[in-house]
Amino acid sequence: MSTLTPREIVAELDKFVVGQEQAKRMVAVAVRNRWRRQHLPEELRDEVAPKNIIMMGPTGVGKTEIARRLAKLSGAPFIKVEATKFTEVGYVGRDVESMVRDLMEIGINLVREEENARVRAAAEAAAESRLLDLLLPNSFGGDRNDTREKLRQQFRLGFMDDREVEVEVTEQPAQGMDMFAIPGMEQMGNQVRDMFSKAFPPRRSRRKMKVREAYNVLIQEESGKLVDQEALVDKARERVEQMGIIFIDEIDAVGRQRGTGLGGGHDEREQTLNQLLVEMDGFESNDSVVLIAATNRADVLDPALLRPGRFDRQIVVDTPDVKGRQRILEVHSKDKPIGSDVDLAKIAKITPGFTGADLANLMNESALLTARRGKKIITMREVSESMERVIAGPERKGRVMNEKTKHTIAYHESGHALVGHLLDHADPVHKISIISRGRALGYTLSIPDEDKVLNSLSEMKDELAVFMGGRVAEEIFCDDITTGASNDLERASKMARAIVTQYGMSPLGTQVFGQPNHEVFLGRDYGNTQDYSEETARRIDEEVAKIMKEAHDRAHAILSSHADQMDLMASVLLERETVEGEACEALLDNKWDEYLAREDDIIAAKEAEEAAARAKDAELLAAQGEGDGASDTPGAPGAAPADPDAGETLADPNWRNEPVEPGDQDPNAPFRTPAEHADRADAPTQAEVNAEIDREDDMDSSADAPDPNKKD
């Protein structure tokens, strides 16, 4: 990679890491600077230090993968250090010496592999000659050269691989002193190992082994003879100095802000951080070892870590945008049997906020769900179901609820959906369900049309009203209110307080009150004092309560004026449990009767579309020589009914052995265990099963049946 430009480095990283263009570009420039530094005059080179990098972003966006692929691309010595290693033994953890020592070992192994590959041909020739000497001892009489050539040909053809020979090999030194190689005691461990290696030098012993195994052992020995070990170490040291990369993952585990402990700080964790800060300055300015760190808790990092000279370049690795999500989906669906009705661009559009790990999990869940249902092609139906699984969890159809609870949930979810549909700045509603999923008793799936970078006050107020829609529906249409709105109220309260204290969108003015938005950090938040008066605190509480009441009143006004529609929505949900697509749109637009009039046509058109997609998939596979060889044309007179899954490839050949979850059963698959509430009309009765068993027993005991005790 030393000859690659930043643009070329990014192009190579694109093969393995999708999206994150800015992050990859900044990392490439930082690494490229090391190559530029090597070509500076020596007196100027010492004044130019490499830039350390810290990547900040949510989990699952590819921070670790960027560092790993960068090291593989560059051929640089690379070591990954978990930050927790620093704290395994009190505050005495990994130091610069131990990290560089480990990096040096990796560099030596890397260079040794390259050198062994360079002398591979010569080593193979020498090993072959030694092996022939073992197979043909000096005491052999007759035409030695002719016999040796015959043995050489037999060996090269593999005819002698199973023959045993006795080879003199070097015994590996004992590793019993690794107990000293613990954090903070690496130097002692090295000294002890050196002492024992001098006291007990490696021994030579004779062992019997297969010819092929002996050949590989001899190649290693001959390679060691052909490679200059001192030059190898010097080359490895130079590579470590000029190209070494140390990657510290989850650095927030050791780099948390000092002075935030409950006792005022100066605990063991802070001592570890102090040690790390000092030792980061211990990297000499005349080497180019680059430190790359990653964290998803940038808000708790100590400012001393981020100053110039330590982690100079702060790179934000954020969640992918819609184009990035589509490319990631294309990567993870490449080796899966994807149906022609699966629109990856549409999936990318309805998955805002998904990370690369989430999208990989989505496609994996789709494949597993397809296999559990006994299908052979991943369709859009499985992808949609898997997306809801990733968001809210699997369906829990087995949860027992009485009619009153179902009635409350139906009105609760109808309240969320209707308020969200009638407000201009709320996210569109795609699905309403009263089926339990994860910890939710029911859910309303609202997905924004596009990625949001900023949220306006109007959007947040509409969202607050949507949050309150469930509780208001219980107040109006149910006998009592329940705890089902607890999560809604929690999210609404947090947003309302943020409007007042963080965003400056209240009559209190454009001022931030308290600490900026961050995850709770007990020591810091517990020790900080309130930076505003008690009067201001009272006014903040009043404004938050005012915003919450306004949202409540807006939701109340909407639902009260649409009582008939709410009754209809609740009744439909109690009957069907789930509405989505055109049914959901018709229900929200209060055009349910019109939808029912054409529902059969809609369902028939959808089934025809799915059947056409399955037929297209079968034709594509048949064109590739993977069809089932059927000659009948679907739909032709006298032809067998077309199998929409014919010619498809199983997503998982072991799907029959996978455990079956409630709701995963395909009603067209009688070989799978049906769900508790599945239609068992086609299943045979117990009497029919007993009759069939008796019939088979009679056949086995008849005169025509073979006698198991008879011997030929």
What is the Cα–Cα distance from 78 to 248, expressed in whole angstroms?
11
| β-bridge partners, 294 | 55
| pLDDT tens-digit series, residues 131-148 | 888 887 765 555 677 888
| pLDDT tens-digit series, residues 511-526 | 888 765 455 555 555 5
Of 206-215, 263-272, 514-523, the poorest mean pLDDT is in 514-523
Structure tokens at 94: 């990994």
- % of the chain residues with pLDDT over 90: 15
Q: What's the whole-number mean pLDDT along residues 602-620?
A: 82
pLDDT of amino acid 262: 54
| pLDDT tens-digit series, residues 238-257 | 777 777 778 888 888 777 77
Structure tokens at 432: 């309403």
What is the Cα–Cα distance from 32 to 149, expressed in whole angstroms?
53
- % of the chain residues with pLDDT over 70: 71
Task: Give the C-alpha distances (Å, rounded to integers) separating 48 from 45, 203, 402, 692.
Answer: 5, 48, 73, 87
Residue 535 dihedral angles phi and psi, to the nearest 5° = -65, -40
How distant is the alpha carbon of residue 649 from its chain centre? 25
Model confidence at 388, pLDDT cuts 50, 70, 90, reads: confident
pLDDT of amino acid 469: 94
Max mean pLDDT among 33-37, 179-183, 198-202, 303-307 falls in 303-307
Task: Give the C-alpha distances (Å, rounded to integers) separating 614 from 144, 371, 376, 444.
Answer: 70, 16, 10, 30
Model confidence at 279, pLDDT cuts 50, 70, 90, reads: low
pLDDT at 45 over 80: no
CB 346 within 8 Å of CB 387: no
| pLDDT tens-digit series, residues 552-593 | 999 999 999 999 999 999 999 999 888 988 889 999 999 999
More confident residue, 221 or 618: 221
Q: How many C-beta atoms lie closer than 10 Å to residue 306's C-beta?
A: 15
pLDDT at 297 over 70: yes
Place of tokens 């009948």: 632
User: Per residue, what are the HEC states of 657-688?
Assistant: HCCCCCCCCCCCCCCCCCCCCCCCCCCCCHHH
pLDDT at 315 over 80: yes
pLDDT of amino acid 559: 94
Place of tokens 């020979």: 165
Structure tokens at 439: 């910890």
pLDDT of amino acid 193: 54
How distant is the alpha carbon of residue 6 from its chain centre? 27
More confident residue, 203 or 569: 569
CB 508 within 8 Å of CB 461: no
| pLDDT tens-digit series, residues 89-98 | 443 445 556 7
pLDDT of amino acid 646: 38
Model confidence at 46, pLDDT cuts 50, 70, 90, reads: low
Max mean pLDDT among 267-271, 472-476, 659-663 falls in 472-476
Q: How many C-beta atoms lie closer than 10 Å to residue 266's C-beta?
A: 12
Residue 557 dihedral angles phi and psi, to the nearest 5° = -65, -40
More confident residue, 185 or 366: 366
What is the Cα–Cα distance from 152 to 299, expressed in whole angstroms?
67
Give every CB contact of residue 220 below 8 A, 6+ residues apart in sequence: 116
What is the Cα–Cα distance from 694 to 701, expressed in whole angstroms?
11
How distant is the alpha carbon of residue 77 from its chain centre? 26
pLDDT at 446 over 50: yes
Place of tokens 């370049």: 313
What is the Cα–Cα distance from 310 to 277, expressed in whole angstroms?
8
Three-state SS for 483?
A: helix
Give every CB contact of residue 342 below 8 A, 6+ residues apart in sequence: 333, 378, 379, 380, 383
Structure tokens at 565: 């529609």
Helix 563-576 to helix 457-477 angle, to the nearest 10 degrees?
Answer: 80
Q: Looking at residue 709, what DSSP letter applies?
A: T
Three-state SS for 168?
A: strand
Give every CB contact of residue 209 below 8 A, 6+ residues apart in sequence: 164, 165, 167, 217
pLDDT at 693 over 60: no
Consecutive H or E run containing 314: strand 313-316
CB 391 within 8 Å of CB 430: no
CB 117 within 8 Å of CB 226: no
Model confidence at 545, pLDDT cuts 50, 70, 90, reads: very high
Which of 161, 155, 99 lies closest to 129, judged by CA?
A: 155
Structure tokens at 363: 């496609």
pLDDT of amino acid 644: 40
Of 8-12, 423-427, 547-551, the poorest mean pLDDT is in 8-12
Q: What's the whole-number mean pLDDT along residues 323-350?
A: 86
pLDDT of amino acid 495: 94
Max mean pLDDT among 403-417, 526-540, 682-696 falls in 403-417
pLDDT of amino acid 305: 83
Which listed residue (12, 413, 543, 648) is catalytic?
A: 413
Burial label for 47, CB within 10 Å (0-12, 13-18, 19+), is: exposed
Q: How does strand 164-170 pair with strand 204-210?
A: antiparallel
Degrees, nearest 5: CA angle 669-582-386: 45
Per-position b or e across 192-221, b if 16+ CB within 10 A of its CB: bbeeeeeeeeeeeeeeeeebeebbebbbeb
What is the Cα–Cα distance from 496 to 502, expressed in whole angstroms?
10
Model confidence at 459, pLDDT cuts 50, 70, 90, reads: very high
Write down how long the chain is.
712
Place of tokens 């209707």: 418
pLDDT of amino acid 102: 78
| pLDDT tens-digit series, residues 316-331 | 888 888 888 888 888 8
Three-state SS for 649?
A: coil
Model confidence at 645, pLDDT cuts 50, 70, 90, reads: very low
Active site includes 21? no
Give every CB contact of residue 49 below 8 A, 6+ residues apart in sequence: 285, 309
CB 680 within 8 Å of CB 396: no
CB 219 within 8 Å of CB 226: no
pLDDT at 709 over 60: no
Average pLDDT, the chain: 75
Structure tokens at 488: 């809604």
Of 292-306, 333-347, 644-658, the poorest mean pLDDT is in 644-658
Which of 294, 299, 326 lies closest to 311, judged by CA?
A: 294
pLDDT at 26 over 50: yes
Which of 455, 507, 525, 503 lies closest to 257, judged by CA?
A: 525
pLDDT of amino acid 525: 53
More confident residue, 521 or 424: 424
pLDDT of amino acid 675: 42
pLDDT of amino acid 703: 44
Q: What's the whole-number mean pLDDT along residues 597-618?
A: 84
Q: How does strand 164-170 pair with strand 53-56?
A: unpaired
Residue type, 253: A
Three-state SS for 504?
A: coil
Degrees, nearest 5: CA angle 21-23-24: 65
Task: Give the C-alpha distances (Å, rounded to integers) separating 572 from 411, 470, 567, 568, 593.
Answer: 11, 17, 9, 6, 12
* Edge-to-edge strand ranges of the sheet holding 578-580: 443-446, 429-433, 578-580
pLDDT of amino acid 656: 41
